[in-house]
Structure 1
Amino acid sequence: MLPSASRPASRYSLDAALLLGQLIRRARLERKITAAQLAERAGLSRSLVQRIEKGDPSCSIGAAFEAAAVVGLRLFDATQSSLTSAIQANAEVLTLLPRAVRAPRIETKDDF
């Protein structure tokens, strides 16, 4: 699926969305769950589930992650406890980094 003209996407992000959609569809079919059942369990519309499975990059990441969780697809190759540990570790690193990033000022050489 092509992104809308007002929101360009890189080839990498399009491929990643397509791969995630394929993995969700495969897990759903292996568990013999219909798209309508997945939609109901995840609290999504059936059309949104279909768009996620087709790799539509305009779907919200939260909806895609919820669909993946419902079909038992492990993302980031992690368990809940390892995700929690990773979140805490990243939060600690983020507290050490500056809050804002500014581009370095370019000095104007105006001495002629």
Structure 2
Amino acid sequence: MMGREKVGVLGVARDALEVLGGQIRIARIERGWTQKHLGSVCGASERTISMIERGHPSVAIGNVLNAAVSVGVPLFQLDDPEELARIRHRGEERIALIPKRVAAQQEVPLELRDF
């Protein structure tokens, strides 16, 4: 069995993962839930919940968002799920208007690299 591939993330992304993981942990504890219970609610293992709460970058984004929604952590600072759906719809409309292909991009500047 092969181990998981190490995922490199930019500093800001790492901070965001840790902040979101911390918010999920706080909300879970405030509800009086164990990691095992949260995992059963959102369809993830207890180990996955532990990794989410520690901000581990290799956890699937769907698992992270499921955990956040399950404990009531607002996504994108929105408490209303219908507003998030409206924003998603507007984004889809904008994507439909942009070209299907983009030109090859230049290399990422060194100052933006974190790994």
Above 0.5 in TM-score?
Answer: yes
Task: Give the RMSD, CA atoms, in angstroms.
Answer: 1.5
Deviation of 1:63 (Å): 0.2
Deviation of 1:88 (Å): 1.2
Deviation of 1:42 (Å): 0.8
Larger Rg: 1
Unpaired segments ≥5 residues, structure 2: 106-115
1:85-112 deviation line (CA, Å, top 9, x unaligned) = 11111111111110110138xxxxxxxx
Partner residue, 1:107:
none
Partner residue, 1:98:
99
Provide the rounded CA distance (Å) in 2 between the counterparts of 1:22 and 1:52. Answer: 9
Unpaired segments ≥5 residues, structure 1: 105-112
3-state DSSP class of the match of 1:77? coil
May I ask how many residue pairs the two structures share in their alignment?
A: 100
Q: Percent identity?
A: 33
Deviation of 1:9 (Å): 1.3
Partner residue, 1:12:
12
Deviation of 1:8 (Å): 2.1
TM-score (norm 1): 0.84
